Protein backbone atom coordinates (compact mmCIF):
# COMPACT_ATOMS: atom_id res chain seq x y z
CA UNK A 1 0.00 0.00 0.00
CA UNK A 2 1.40 3.37 -1.00
CA UNK A 3 0.44 6.62 0.66
CA UNK A 4 -0.71 9.55 -1.42
CA UNK A 5 2.00 12.14 -1.92
CA UNK A 6 -0.31 14.96 -0.84
CA UNK A 7 -2.82 15.22 1.97
CA UNK A 8 -6.46 16.12 1.26
CA UNK A 9 -7.30 19.81 1.41
CA UNK A 10 -9.82 19.46 4.25
CA UNK A 11 -9.51 17.39 7.40
CA UNK A 12 -12.85 15.61 7.09
CA UNK A 13 -13.61 12.42 9.00
CA UNK A 14 -12.17 9.27 7.50
CA UNK A 15 -13.28 5.70 8.11
CA UNK A 16 -10.89 2.74 7.92
CA UNK A 17 -12.38 -0.76 8.03
CA UNK A 18 -10.61 -3.60 9.81
CA UNK A 19 -11.79 -6.71 7.99
CA UNK A 20 -11.84 -9.81 10.18
CA UNK A 21 -13.95 -12.97 10.00
CA UNK A 22 -17.17 -12.33 11.97
CA UNK A 23 -15.78 -9.34 13.92
CA UNK A 24 -14.89 -6.55 11.50
CA UNK A 25 -15.05 -2.99 12.82
CA UNK A 26 -14.55 0.64 11.84
CA UNK A 27 -11.83 3.07 12.83
CA UNK A 28 -13.33 6.56 12.56
CA UNK A 29 -10.79 9.40 12.41
CA UNK A 30 -11.60 13.09 12.79
CA UNK A 31 -12.25 15.97 15.17
CA UNK A 32 -15.21 16.02 17.59
CA UNK A 33 -15.74 12.27 17.83
CA UNK A 34 -15.88 12.24 21.64
CA UNK A 35 -18.99 14.44 21.41
CA UNK A 36 -20.51 12.00 18.90
CA UNK A 37 -19.54 8.86 20.80
CA UNK A 38 -22.81 8.44 22.72
CA UNK A 39 -24.92 8.58 19.58
CA UNK A 40 -22.59 6.24 17.69
CA UNK A 41 -22.48 3.71 20.53
CA UNK A 42 -26.26 3.80 20.98
CA UNK A 43 -26.66 3.02 17.29
CA UNK A 44 -24.07 0.26 17.46
CA UNK A 45 -25.44 -1.33 20.65
CA UNK A 46 -28.95 0.01 21.46
CA UNK A 47 -29.88 -0.12 25.15
CA UNK A 48 -26.46 -1.17 26.36
CA UNK A 49 -24.85 0.00 29.59
CA UNK A 50 -21.25 1.17 29.52
CA UNK A 51 -18.33 1.73 31.84
CA UNK A 52 -15.62 4.20 30.88
CA UNK A 53 -12.11 3.24 31.98
CA UNK A 54 -9.75 6.22 31.88
CA UNK A 55 -6.99 7.90 33.87
CA UNK A 56 -6.88 11.02 36.02
CA UNK A 57 -5.32 13.21 33.35
CA UNK A 58 -7.68 12.23 30.54
CA UNK A 59 -10.71 12.35 32.83
CA UNK A 60 -10.10 16.02 33.58
CA UNK A 61 -9.87 16.82 29.88
CA UNK A 62 -12.44 14.63 28.17
CA UNK A 63 -14.59 12.50 30.49
CA UNK A 64 -17.34 15.07 31.05
CA UNK A 65 -17.87 15.50 27.29
CA UNK A 66 -18.07 11.76 26.76
CA UNK A 67 -20.46 11.18 29.65
CA UNK A 68 -22.68 14.04 28.50
CA UNK A 69 -23.05 12.34 25.12
CA UNK A 70 -23.70 8.96 26.71
CA UNK A 71 -26.45 10.47 28.87
CA UNK A 72 -28.01 12.24 25.88
CA UNK A 73 -28.12 8.90 24.07
CA UNK A 74 -29.90 7.29 27.02
CA UNK A 75 -27.03 4.97 27.94
CA UNK A 76 -26.53 3.97 31.58
CA UNK A 77 -22.90 4.66 32.36
CA UNK A 78 -20.27 4.43 35.08
CA UNK A 79 -16.56 5.12 35.17
CA UNK A 80 -13.33 3.78 36.62
CA UNK A 81 -10.38 6.16 36.89
CA UNK A 82 -6.84 4.85 37.33
CA UNK A 83 -3.45 6.52 37.73
CA UNK A 84 -1.81 7.66 34.48
CA UNK A 85 1.41 6.21 33.13
CA UNK A 86 3.07 2.93 32.22
CA UNK A 87 3.33 2.05 35.91
CA UNK A 88 -0.40 1.29 35.91
CA UNK A 89 0.00 -1.63 33.51
CA UNK A 90 0.10 -4.23 36.28
CA UNK A 91 -1.99 -6.92 37.95
CA UNK A 92 -3.20 -4.61 40.72
CA UNK A 93 -4.66 -2.08 38.27
CA UNK A 94 -6.16 -4.85 36.16
CA UNK A 95 -7.89 -6.24 39.25
CA UNK A 96 -9.31 -2.82 40.13
CA UNK A 97 -10.61 -2.36 36.59
CA UNK A 98 -12.29 -5.77 36.56
CA UNK A 99 -13.84 -5.15 39.99
CA UNK A 100 -15.21 -1.81 38.74
CA UNK A 101 -16.74 -3.48 35.68
CA UNK A 102 -18.48 -6.08 37.84
CA UNK A 103 -19.54 -3.54 40.48
CA UNK A 104 -21.16 -1.43 37.74
CA UNK A 105 -23.24 -4.49 36.72
CA UNK A 106 -21.83 -4.43 33.21
CA UNK A 107 -23.12 -7.56 31.51
CA UNK A 108 -21.71 -9.52 28.58
CA UNK A 109 -23.91 -7.67 26.09
CA UNK A 110 -22.82 -4.27 27.44
CA UNK A 111 -19.66 -2.31 26.66
CA UNK A 112 -16.38 -1.18 28.15
CA UNK A 113 -15.05 2.12 26.79
CA UNK A 114 -11.29 2.68 26.88
CA UNK A 115 -10.78 6.46 26.95
CA UNK A 116 -7.12 7.35 26.93
CA UNK A 117 -3.72 6.43 25.59
CA UNK A 118 -2.04 3.10 25.10
CA UNK A 119 -1.93 2.21 28.79
CA UNK A 120 -5.68 2.68 29.15
CA UNK A 121 -6.37 0.81 25.93
CA UNK A 122 -4.26 -2.12 27.09
CA UNK A 123 -5.61 -2.29 30.65
CA UNK A 124 -9.27 -1.63 29.78
CA UNK A 125 -9.11 -3.98 26.80
CA UNK A 126 -7.57 -6.75 28.90
CA UNK A 127 -10.13 -6.20 31.68
CA UNK A 128 -12.93 -6.41 29.10
CA UNK A 129 -11.43 -9.61 27.69
CA UNK A 130 -11.48 -11.41 31.03
CA UNK A 131 -14.47 -9.91 32.88
CA UNK A 132 -17.46 -12.25 32.51
CA UNK A 133 -15.26 -14.16 30.02
CA UNK A 134 -15.46 -11.36 27.51
CA UNK A 135 -17.23 -8.01 27.14
CA UNK A 136 -16.99 -5.91 23.98
CA UNK A 137 -14.80 -2.82 24.10
CA UNK A 138 -14.90 0.52 22.30
CA UNK A 139 -11.52 2.19 22.00
CA UNK A 140 -11.43 6.01 22.14
CA UNK A 141 -7.69 6.71 21.90
CA UNK A 142 -6.56 10.18 22.98
CA UNK A 143 -2.85 10.03 22.13
CA UNK A 144 -1.20 9.87 18.72
CA UNK A 145 0.48 6.58 19.58
CA UNK A 146 -2.81 4.98 20.57
CA UNK A 147 -4.66 6.37 17.54
CA UNK A 148 -2.23 4.90 15.02
CA UNK A 149 -1.18 1.74 16.81
CA UNK A 150 -2.26 0.36 20.17
CA UNK A 151 -6.03 0.89 19.83
CA UNK A 152 -6.11 -1.14 16.60
CA UNK A 153 -5.71 -4.88 16.26
CA UNK A 154 -6.90 -6.24 19.58
CA UNK A 155 -3.64 -6.59 21.49
CA UNK A 156 -4.20 -5.98 25.19
CA UNK A 157 -1.96 -6.65 28.14
CA UNK A 158 0.01 -5.63 31.20
CA UNK A 159 3.68 -5.59 32.13
CA UNK A 160 5.48 -7.79 34.62
CA UNK A 161 8.90 -7.69 36.22
CA UNK A 162 10.08 -9.95 33.39
CA UNK A 163 9.10 -7.60 30.57
CA UNK A 164 6.54 -5.58 28.64
CA UNK A 165 3.10 -6.90 27.67
CA UNK A 166 3.95 -10.47 28.65
CA UNK A 167 0.46 -11.09 30.08
CA UNK A 168 -2.56 -10.27 27.98
CA UNK A 169 -5.11 -11.36 25.41
CA UNK A 170 -6.20 -10.69 21.85
CA UNK A 171 -9.51 -8.86 22.22
CA UNK A 172 -10.62 -6.87 19.19
CA UNK A 173 -12.64 -3.68 19.75
CA UNK A 174 -16.04 -3.33 18.13
CA UNK A 175 -15.36 0.33 17.27
CA UNK A 176 -12.43 2.77 17.38
CA UNK A 177 -13.09 6.52 17.57
CA UNK A 178 -9.88 8.49 17.01
CA UNK A 179 -10.77 12.07 17.91
CA UNK A 180 -7.94 14.11 16.44
CA UNK A 181 -8.96 17.10 18.53
CA UNK A 182 -7.68 15.36 21.67
CA UNK A 183 -4.14 15.56 20.29
CA UNK A 184 -4.13 19.32 20.84
CA UNK A 185 -4.12 18.65 24.59
CA UNK A 186 -1.05 16.38 24.47
CA UNK A 187 2.29 17.53 25.86
CA UNK A 188 4.81 17.98 23.02
CA UNK A 189 6.91 15.07 24.25
CA UNK A 190 3.93 12.70 24.13
CA UNK A 191 3.06 13.79 20.61
CA UNK A 192 6.64 13.27 19.42
CA UNK A 193 6.70 9.82 20.99
CA UNK A 194 3.53 8.90 19.12
CA UNK A 195 5.00 10.19 15.88
CA UNK A 196 7.65 7.45 16.07
CA UNK A 197 4.88 4.93 15.40
CA UNK A 198 3.64 6.98 12.43
CA UNK A 199 7.14 6.99 10.93
CA UNK A 200 7.32 3.25 11.56
CA UNK A 201 4.64 2.56 8.96
CA UNK A 202 6.66 4.26 6.25
CA UNK A 203 9.82 2.48 7.33
CA UNK A 204 8.31 -0.99 7.37
CA UNK A 205 6.30 -0.95 4.15
CA UNK A 206 5.82 2.38 2.36
CA UNK A 207 8.84 4.40 1.32
CA UNK A 208 6.62 7.01 -0.37
CA UNK A 209 4.79 7.63 2.90
CA UNK A 210 8.10 8.02 4.72
CA UNK A 211 9.22 10.52 2.06
CA UNK A 212 5.92 12.40 2.48
CA UNK A 213 6.47 12.52 6.24
CA UNK A 214 10.01 13.81 5.76
CA UNK A 215 8.55 16.73 3.81
CA UNK A 216 5.40 17.32 5.87
CA UNK A 217 6.11 16.31 9.47
CA UNK A 218 6.07 19.90 10.70
CA UNK A 219 2.53 20.29 9.34
CA UNK A 220 1.52 17.00 10.98
CA UNK A 221 2.84 18.38 14.27
CA UNK A 222 0.90 21.63 13.83
CA UNK A 223 -2.50 21.88 15.51
CA UNK A 224 -5.24 20.02 13.63
CA UNK A 225 -5.38 20.11 9.84
CA UNK A 226 -5.61 17.79 6.90
CA UNK A 227 -1.99 16.63 7.04
CA UNK A 228 -2.44 15.23 10.55
CA UNK A 229 -5.64 13.39 9.60
CA UNK A 230 -3.92 12.05 6.48
CA UNK A 231 -0.95 10.75 8.46
CA UNK A 232 -3.19 9.06 11.03
CA UNK A 233 -5.53 7.55 8.44
CA UNK A 234 -2.62 6.24 6.35
CA UNK A 235 -1.06 4.64 9.42
CA UNK A 236 -4.39 3.09 10.47
CA UNK A 237 -5.03 1.80 6.96
CA UNK A 238 -1.66 0.06 6.83
CA UNK A 239 -2.16 -1.55 10.23
CA UNK A 240 -5.75 -2.56 9.39
CA UNK A 241 -4.62 -4.29 6.22
CA UNK A 242 -1.88 -6.21 8.03
CA UNK A 243 -4.12 -7.19 10.96
CA UNK A 244 -6.81 -8.31 8.52
CA UNK A 245 -4.35 -10.73 6.97
CA UNK A 246 -2.67 -11.87 10.19
CA UNK A 247 -4.77 -11.22 13.29
CA UNK A 248 -2.77 -13.35 15.73
CA UNK A 249 0.73 -12.33 14.65
CA UNK A 250 1.62 -15.70 13.17
CA UNK A 251 3.45 -14.10 10.24
CA UNK A 252 3.18 -10.71 8.54
CA UNK A 253 1.88 -8.84 11.59
CA UNK A 254 5.28 -9.25 13.21
CA UNK A 255 6.50 -6.51 10.84
CA UNK A 256 4.63 -4.04 13.05
CA UNK A 257 7.26 -4.76 15.70
CA UNK A 258 9.97 -2.87 13.83
CA UNK A 259 12.24 -1.45 16.53
CA UNK A 260 10.30 -3.11 19.33
CA UNK A 261 12.78 -5.82 20.36
CA UNK A 262 15.34 -3.13 21.15
CA UNK A 263 12.73 -0.63 22.35
CA UNK A 264 10.99 -2.94 24.79
CA UNK A 265 14.35 -3.92 26.32
CA UNK A 266 15.15 -0.25 26.85
CA UNK A 267 11.73 0.34 28.43
CA UNK A 268 12.30 -2.56 30.81
CA UNK A 269 15.79 -1.25 31.60
CA UNK A 270 14.29 2.11 32.60
CA UNK A 271 11.62 0.50 34.76
CA UNK A 272 8.70 1.35 32.42
CA UNK A 273 8.96 4.92 33.67
CA UNK A 274 8.89 8.42 32.24
CA UNK A 275 12.64 8.17 31.74
CA UNK A 276 11.77 6.67 28.37
CA UNK A 277 8.35 6.78 26.76
CA UNK A 278 7.29 3.87 24.58
CA UNK A 279 7.60 5.81 21.34
CA UNK A 280 11.01 7.12 22.34
CA UNK A 281 12.20 3.56 22.91
CA UNK A 282 10.80 2.56 19.53
CA UNK A 283 12.58 5.48 17.83
CA UNK A 284 15.92 4.29 19.22
CA UNK A 285 14.97 0.71 18.41
CA UNK A 286 14.17 1.49 14.77
CA UNK A 287 17.51 3.20 14.26
CA UNK A 288 19.28 0.23 15.88
CA UNK A 289 17.29 -2.16 13.65
CA UNK A 290 18.43 -0.28 10.55
CA UNK A 291 22.02 -0.12 11.81
CA UNK A 292 21.92 -3.87 12.48
CA UNK A 293 20.50 -4.39 8.98
CA UNK A 294 23.37 -2.36 7.53
CA UNK A 295 25.90 -4.28 9.64
CA UNK A 296 24.48 -7.53 8.23
CA UNK A 297 24.65 -6.10 4.67
CA UNK A 298 20.89 -6.11 4.17
CA UNK A 299 20.70 -2.37 3.52
CA UNK A 300 22.92 0.60 2.79
CA UNK A 301 24.24 2.40 5.90
CA UNK A 302 22.86 5.58 4.31
CA UNK A 303 19.36 4.21 4.93
CA UNK A 304 20.08 4.01 8.65
CA UNK A 305 21.50 7.54 8.57
CA UNK A 306 18.37 8.78 6.77
CA UNK A 307 16.11 7.19 9.39
CA UNK A 308 18.12 8.67 12.24
CA UNK A 309 18.24 12.12 10.63
CA UNK A 310 14.46 12.29 10.25
CA UNK A 311 13.74 11.13 13.79
CA UNK A 312 16.30 13.57 15.22
CA UNK A 313 14.71 16.38 13.20
CA UNK A 314 11.34 15.45 14.73
CA UNK A 315 12.87 15.71 18.21
CA UNK A 316 13.13 12.01 19.02
CA UNK A 317 16.02 10.14 20.65
CA UNK A 318 18.02 7.84 18.38
CA UNK A 319 21.05 6.78 20.48
CA UNK A 320 21.55 4.90 23.71
CA UNK A 321 23.18 8.02 25.12
CA UNK A 322 19.87 9.85 24.66
CA UNK A 323 18.30 7.77 27.45
CA UNK A 324 18.70 9.63 30.76
CA UNK A 325 20.41 7.72 33.53
CA UNK A 326 22.38 4.49 33.50
CA UNK A 327 21.52 1.50 31.32
CA UNK A 328 22.54 -2.15 31.67
CA UNK A 329 25.59 -3.22 29.69
CA UNK A 330 25.20 -4.99 26.34
CA UNK A 331 24.83 -8.37 28.02
CA UNK A 332 22.13 -6.99 30.30
CA UNK A 333 20.17 -5.56 27.39
CA UNK A 334 20.45 -8.89 25.55
CA UNK A 335 19.06 -10.64 28.63
CA UNK A 336 16.06 -8.30 28.58
CA UNK A 337 15.55 -8.99 24.88
CA UNK A 338 15.49 -12.70 25.65
CA UNK A 339 12.25 -12.13 27.61
CA UNK A 340 10.56 -10.49 24.62
CA UNK A 341 7.35 -12.09 23.33
CA UNK A 342 8.93 -12.40 19.87
CA UNK A 343 11.55 -14.88 21.05
CA UNK A 344 11.03 -18.21 19.27
CA UNK A 345 12.42 -21.37 20.82
CA UNK A 346 14.98 -19.27 22.65
CA UNK A 347 16.19 -17.43 19.52
CA UNK A 348 15.93 -13.65 19.22
CA UNK A 349 13.64 -12.40 16.45
CA UNK A 350 14.23 -9.01 14.88
CA UNK A 351 12.43 -7.01 12.25
CA UNK A 352 15.18 -5.88 9.88
CA UNK A 353 15.11 -4.00 6.58
CA UNK A 354 16.47 -4.27 3.05
CA UNK A 355 15.89 -0.55 2.72
CA UNK A 356 13.31 2.03 3.74
CA UNK A 357 9.86 0.49 3.25
CA UNK A 358 11.29 -3.03 2.92
CA UNK A 359 11.11 -4.64 6.35
CA UNK A 360 11.28 -8.38 6.95
CA UNK A 361 11.36 -10.76 9.92
CA UNK A 362 14.73 -12.32 10.74
CA UNK A 363 14.64 -15.24 13.15
CA UNK A 364 18.29 -16.23 12.91
CA UNK A 365 20.30 -13.20 14.03
CA UNK A 366 23.32 -14.29 16.05
CA UNK A 367 23.45 -12.71 19.52
CA UNK A 368 27.10 -11.87 18.91
CA UNK A 369 26.11 -9.52 16.07
CA UNK A 370 23.61 -7.77 18.30
CA UNK A 371 26.16 -7.52 21.11
CA UNK A 372 28.70 -6.05 18.70
CA UNK A 373 26.17 -3.44 17.58
CA UNK A 374 25.33 -2.48 21.16
CA UNK A 375 29.01 -2.28 22.07
CA UNK A 376 29.66 -0.02 19.07
CA UNK A 377 26.72 2.20 20.04
CA UNK A 378 28.15 2.55 23.53
CA UNK A 379 31.58 3.48 22.19
CA UNK A 380 29.99 6.12 19.93
CA UNK A 381 28.05 7.48 22.89
> CATH number of the domain that 50 lies in?
3.40.50.1970
Q: Examine the domain organization and report whether 146 and 264 are in the same domain.
A: no
* First-residue to last-residue Cα distance in the chain: 37
Domain holding 60, by residue range, is 14-185
Q: Examine the domain organization and report whether 168 and 280 are in the same domain.
A: no
Q: Examine the domain organization and report whether 375 and 292 are in the same domain.
A: yes
User: What's the confidence (pLDDT) of residue 6?
Assistant: 52
Q: CATH number of the domain that 380 lies in?
A: 1.20.1090.10
Q: Examine the domain organization and report whether 152 and 301 are in the same domain.
A: no
- For residue 337, is it within any domain? yes
Q: Examine the domain organization and report whether 24 and 157 are in the same domain.
A: yes
- For residue 20, is it within any domain? yes
- For residue 324, is it within any domain? yes
Q: Examine the domain organization and report whether 120 and 23 are in the same domain.
A: yes
Q: Examine the domain organization and report whether 154 and 271 are in the same domain.
A: no
- For residue 353, is it within any domain? yes
Report the C-alpha gap between 341 and 265 in whole angstroms: 11
Q: Examine the domain organization and report whether 177 and 275 are in the same domain.
A: no
What own/partner pairs with CB < 8 Å and gap ≥ 24 does 62-68 have?
62/34, 62/115, 62/142, 62/182, 62/185, 63/115, 65/34, 65/35, 66/34, 66/37, 66/38, 66/113, 66/115, 66/140, 68/38
Catalytic positions are: 133, 155, 197, 239, 249, 253, 257, 260, 264, 278
Q: Examine the domain organization and report whether 159 and 295 are in the same domain.
A: no
Which of 140, 158, 185 marks a domain boundary?
185
- For residue 194, is it within any domain? no
- For residue 153, is it within any domain? yes
Report the C-alpha gap between 360 and 378 in whole angstroms: 26
Q: Examine the domain organization and report whether 308 and 165 are in the same domain.
A: no
Predicted confidence pLDDT, tens digits, the chain (381 residues): 444 445 544 457 999 999 999 899 999 999 999 999 999 999 999 999 999 999 999 999 999 999 999 999 999 999 999 999 999 999 999 999 999 999 999 999 999 999 999 999 999 999 999 999 999 999 999 999 999 999 999 999 999 988 889 999 999 999 999 999 999 999 999 999 999 999 999 999 999 999 999 999 999 999 778 999 999 999 999 999 999 999 988 889 999 999 999 999 999 999 999 999 999 999 999 999 999 999 999 999 999 999 999 999 999 999 999 999 999 999 999 999 987 766 666 678 899 999 999 999 998 888 999 999 999 998 887
Q: Examine the domain organization and report whether 179 and 31 are in the same domain.
A: yes
Which of 132, 154, 185 marks a domain boundary?
185
Are 313 and 217 spatial neighbours (Cβ–Cβ below 8 Å)?
yes
Report the C-alpha gap between 198 and 70 in whole angstroms: 31
Which of 185, 217, 246 marks a domain boundary?
185
User: What's the confidence (pLDDT) of residue 301?
Assistant: 97
Q: Examine the domain organization and report whether 314 and 167 are in the same domain.
A: no
Report the C-alpha gap between 91 and 82 in whole angstroms: 13
Total-model pTM = 0.92
Report the C-alpha gap between 52 and 83 in whole angstroms: 14
- For residue 232, is it within any domain? no
Report the C-alpha gap between 102 and 130 in whole angstroms: 11
- For residue 366, is it within any domain? yes
Indicate the number of domains in the chain. 2
Four-CA torsion 114, 118, 119, 125, nearest 10 degrees: 40
Are 142 and 22 spatial neighbours (Cβ–Cβ below 8 Å)?
no
Sheet containing 111-116, strands listed edge to edge, beginning at the edge strand earlier in sequence: 14-18, 25-30, 175-179, 136-141, 111-116, 50-55, 77-82
Residues in the chain: 381
Amino acid sequence: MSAKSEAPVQAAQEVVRVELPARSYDIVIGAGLIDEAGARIAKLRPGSAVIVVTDDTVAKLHLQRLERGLASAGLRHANSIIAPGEGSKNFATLERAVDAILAARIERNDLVIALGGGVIGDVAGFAAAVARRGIDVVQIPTTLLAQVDSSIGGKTGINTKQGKNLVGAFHQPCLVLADTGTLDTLPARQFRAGYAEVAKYGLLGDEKFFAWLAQNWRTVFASGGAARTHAIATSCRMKAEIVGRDERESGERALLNLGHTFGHALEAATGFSDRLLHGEGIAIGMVLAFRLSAQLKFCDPKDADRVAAHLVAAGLPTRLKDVPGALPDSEGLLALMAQDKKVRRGALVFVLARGIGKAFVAADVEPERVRALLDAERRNS
